Structure 1
Amino acid sequence: MTADHSSPPETSVPTCYRHPGRETYVRCTRCDRYICPECMRDAAVGHQCVECVAEGNRGARRGVPRTVLGARAATSTTPVVTYTLIGACVAMYLAELASARVVWDLMMLGRAVMPDGQVAGVAEGEWYRLFTTMFLHQRDGSFGITHILFNMWALWAIGPALEQVLGRWRFLVLYVLSGLGGSVLLYLVGAPNESAVGASGAIFGLFGAFFVIGRRIGAPVGPIVFLLVINLVITFSVKGISWEGHIGGLVVGAILAAAYAYAPEARRRLIHIGAPLVTLALLTVLVVVRTIDLNPSL
């Protein structure tokens, strides 16, 4: 037997795929390539290379930032809805100053004979008055310009905070339905020929919502309680103020805010959509019932 003096076979040492000069025996658990300590990233099992981690991050669903009440957080701090509502009210006020006809055609009115002899009002099929009245304000009389000034100040003061925590569409829905609630209560219990204008119903709805949401998130509510009490005293002590509009707006705003604020997280989306729809349906039924009572022939 002769000895084998041939050289042993050469064995290759694995190296990092990104750094060929670095020996390593660790593989990426995703692509199975060799990776050095610099290229290792901890994974649920083993390690992954930087490319696989980056690819996984691109494919992962990014979470949408939410407010404490579950609304989509706005990408801008500008209260777009609040400023739009203020702009709409100011524009309508300028239109009123240009022509008194704007008030007669759009104010809240159950059913009455107009100066031109025509019978008009919600009971005559003019249901839009329930909404348009919340963008009008008294242009003369005992209040004059102070009517719109106070309402717009209140909207500017508390609107942005509510819009931020509720999100834009929830805030807008709350504002409009609160104003509608004020109109509907006036329509139900007021005299058919009693008219009203103003955003006060919607503003009172914001007052109620601010209180409810403040209690829910632990914010100070003393200032809004003080403001609300003062306004309720004025409402019931000064002649010419529609208490129905204020109370109707306050009740609707507080109820919707409670639905927004206390909805269980698992059913939050359903309740946030369902509560306004149910409220709108209930107000619609009340309007239809009152309309039949005032004008059965309609």
Structure 2
Amino acid sequence: MGYQCVDCLEQARTDWQRRRPTTRSQFGAVIRPGQRPVVTFTVIGLCVILYILQLVSDTVTAALWYAPLQTSSWTFEPWRMLTSALVHSPSNAMHLLFNMFAIWFVGRSIEPALGRLRYIALLSLSALGGSVAVLYLTPALTPTLGASGAVFGLFGALFILMRSTGSQTGGILTLIAINVVISFVIPGISWQGHFGGLLTGALCALLISKTPRARSGDPQKDARRQGKWQGLGLAGVAVLLVALTALGMQLVDPYT
């Protein structure tokens, strides 16, 4: 009988947990106590591992960086528009350290608020948006690499998300302004990638934050509906970036 009572209590506890309302952020992410920013740490770890491999062999850098010529009628390697965000200048460790610190600092706040899938989409689209800007605004043979496009996407997204929650945005605006100035003052920095990432990240966050929360009385159903519309919005951004890439390919001229 004792075992049966224990089993009954355990079953009752499990049933209660299943029926307990799920706490969600304003943007639809499930909030769990002690939740770790797994995606943020994974991206940082991947960049660090690739940086070590870059130090071992120059071929790693050459295989993953992006230049506009690599999305043209001469060379078609579109995956580089994303892989270039994972590699950094082997001769400048500060390039890696700054970007990883920025991802850690901002990402650990944004990831729990958005949830992992939305956060992955934000990072990926920001990196792609940075490369699209490079495609249009950088000479065809100029290689670009680094997570700065994704970092600026996080900056832009954080500003929009803070505005949507009524938080003070003076700090993030100052941070963005300082980094924009640095982009133009220090030689060798791709302001084009920063610009594209910033705009894309802000656009993604705007679509996420402006998606209305349904009020049907069923929280799970409402969350699914909100997530569906957010997903469609982010998919629309992806389609736009792909279309801009297809158009930009026709404009690449390796002789200019």
Which TM class, normalised by the smaller chain length? 0.7 to 0.9
Shift of the alpha carbon at 1:62? Answer: 4.5
Q: Could you state the TM-score of these two structures normalised by the residue count of structure 2? A: 0.84
Equivalences for residues 1-298 of structure 1 within 5 A: 61-74=19-32, 76-111=34-69, 121-123=70-72, 124-140=75-91, 144-266=92-214, 268-294=226-252
- Amino acid across the alignment from 1:254: A
RMSD: 1.9
Deviation at 1:236, TM superposition (A): 1.3
Question: What letter corresponds to residue 178 of structure 1 in structure 2?
Answer: S
Q: Which structure carries more helix by proportion?
A: 2
Alignment-derived partner of residue 222 in structure 2? none
8 Å CA contact 1:122–1:128 kept in 2: the answer is no
* Secondary structure in 2 matching 1:126: coil
- For residues 24-75 of structure 1, what are the alpha-carbon distances to aligned partners after superposition, in whole Å with 9 as ceiling and x for unaligned? xxxxxxxxxxxxxxxxxxxxxxxxxxxxxx8xx77x8553321122122246
Name the aligned partner's letter for residue 291 of structure 1: M
Structure holding more strand per residue: 1
Tell me which amino acid in the other structure corresponds to 2:155. Answer: F
- Distance in 2, matches of 1:294 and 1:260, equals 33
C-alpha distance in 1 between matches for 2:39 and 2:32: 12
Stretches of structure 2 that go unaligned for 5 or more consecutive residues are 1-11, 215-224
Mapped partners of 1:201, 1:235: distance in 2: 11
Note if contact 1:74-1:167 (Cα within 8 Å) is conserved in structure 2: no
Distance in 1 between residues matched to 2:207 and 2:26, nearest whole Å = 14
Partner AA of 1:148 in structure 2:
L
What secondary structure, in the 3-state scheme, does the structure 2 residue paired with 1:132 have? helix
Distance in 1 between residues matched to 2:43 and 2:153, nearest whole Å = 14
Structure 1 residues 76 and 169: CA distance shift in structure 2, 3 A = farther
After TM superposition, give the deviation of residue 238 of structure 1 in Å. 1.6
Distance 1:127 1:145 in 2: 27
1-structure distance, mates of 2:32, 2:64: 33
Partner AA of 1:203 in structure 2: V
Counterpart position of 1:7: none
Percent of aligned positions that are identical: 37
1:160-200 CA-to-partner distances (Å, cap 9, x unmatched) read 11011111111111011101100011012221111110000
Q: Distance in 2 between matches of 1:128 and 1:137?
A: 16
Runs of 4+ in structure 1 off by over 3 angstroms are 60-63, 292-295
Q: Deviations over 1:266-298 (max 9, x none)?
A: 362232101110111111111112223438xxx
**Matched letter for residue 176 of structure 1:** S
Amino acid at match of 1:211: F
In 1, Cα distance between equivalents of 2:63 and 2:212: 43
Counterpart residue type for residue 122 of structure 1: T
Measure the CA separation in 2 of the matches of 1:261 and 1:95.
38
